[in-house]
C-alpha cells in the first residue's frame, strides 16, 4: 500500500518555507486562512482577465503573504513581470492593490503589493504546468508537450524532473495516467530541494490533472 505525502510539506523547515507568515489565535485562524485564499484567488483572476495573456502562461510562480497588526504585505513572484504588468498596464499594481483592498474591506490595515522576478521561470513547476496546460488546450500531443517542458527545464539548470498527466488524455474514452522522468528525482531524501505543484486544466474532453516534481539541488 503506497504511503504518499506532499513533497513541499515533507520538507518544511529544511529546504522549504511557508508561503504565509502570520500569527493568529486558534479561534481566528480559519478567518486568516480564508483571507489568504481570497487574496491568492483574486490576484490570479485579475492577472488572467486584465493582462491580455496571449501565451496562456500567467507566470505567477507563488504568492507570499506576510501579515502584521496594521499591514498585509503581498509579494507576487512572477516569471514574466515585464510582459504582464509593466509593458501592457503601467498602473496595474496600483489598480490591483486598490481593488483588492476594497474586496477584503480591511479598513484598519494597509495592503501593500510588490512584484519580484524569478530569474529562471521554467525552473518553477507552476509556470511549467501552465505551459503544458496551454499546449494541451491547443490539442498538442501530450508526449510532445512533456518533452518540450523537459527541454525548457534542462536549459534552466535542473538536476531532474518528473511530469505526470492523468485523465482522458488525447480524448480517449478510458482515463489513464502517463508520466515521464528525466534525471534524478529523490523524493524520499529530505535534504533534496524538490519543488512540486499540482495543476488542473479543463479541456474539451474533460479535466486533466498535471503533477510536476523538479529536483533543483541537494543541500
CA distance 217 to 155: 15
Q: Are 125 and 212 in contact (CB under 8 A)?
A: yes
d(CA 14, CA 218): 11
The pLDDT value given to residue 211: 95
| Element counts in the chain: helices (H) and strands (E) | 6, 8
**Which domains does the chain possess?**
16-117 (3.30.300.20), 121-218 (3.30.1140.32)
Helix (H) or strand (E) holding 49: helix 29-50
| Stretch 130-158: mean pLDDT | 90
Cβ atoms 185, 161 nearer than 8 A: yes
Strands 20-21 and 60-67: parallel
Q: Is 63 or 81 the better-scoring residue by pLDDT?
A: 63
pLDDT at 82 over 60: no
Q: What is the pLDDT of residues 126-140, one digit of tens each?
A: 999 999 999 998 889
Q: How confident is the model at residue 91 (pLDDT cuts 50, 70, 90)?
A: low
Cell of 116: 519580484
Would you say residue 120 has pLDDT above 90?
A: no
Segment among 9-23, 106-120, 157-171, 180-194 with least mean pLDDT: 106-120
Phi (first) and psi of residue 138, to 5 degrees: -85, 15
Average pLDDT over residues 158-171: 92
Amino acid at each position: 500500500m503506497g504511503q504518499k505525502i506532499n513533497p513541499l510539506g515533507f520538507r518544511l523547515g529544511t529546504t522549504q518555507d511557508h508561503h504565509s507568515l502570520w500569527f493568529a489565535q486558534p479561534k481566528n485562524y480559519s478567518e486568516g486562512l480564508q483571507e489568504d485564499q481570497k487574496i491568492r484567488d483574486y490576484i490570479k483572476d485579475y492577472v488572467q482577465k486584465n493582462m491580455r495573456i496571449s501565451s496562456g502562461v500567467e507566470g505567477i510562480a507563488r504568492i507570499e503573504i506576510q501579515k502584521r497588526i496594521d499591514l498585509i504585505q503581498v509579494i507576487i513572484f512572477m516569471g514574466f513581470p515585464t510582459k504582464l504588468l509593466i509593458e501592457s498596464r503601467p498602473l496595474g499594481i496600483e489598480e490591483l492593490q486598490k481593488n483588492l483592498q476594497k474586496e477584503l474591506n480591511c479598513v484598519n490595515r494597509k495592503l501593500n503589493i510588490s512584484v519580484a522576478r524569478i530569474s529562471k521561470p521554467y525552473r518553477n513547476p507552476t509556470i511549467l504546468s501552465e505551459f503544458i496546460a496551454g499546449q494541451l488546450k491547443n490539442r498538442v500531443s501530450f508526449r510532445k508537450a512533456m518533452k518540450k517542458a523537459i527541454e525548457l527545464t534542462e536549459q534552466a539548470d535542473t538536476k531532474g524532473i518528473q511530469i505526470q498527466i492523468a485523465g482522458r488524455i488525447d480524448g480517449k474514452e478510458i482515463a489513464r495516467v502517463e508520466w515521464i522522468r528525466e534525471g534524478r528525482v529523490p523524493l524520499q531524501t529530505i535534504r533534496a530541494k524538490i519543488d512540486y505543484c499540482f495543476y488542473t486544466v479543463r479541456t474539451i474532453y474533460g479535466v486533466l490533472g498535471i503533477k510536476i516534481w523538479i529536483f533543483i539541488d541537494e543541500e
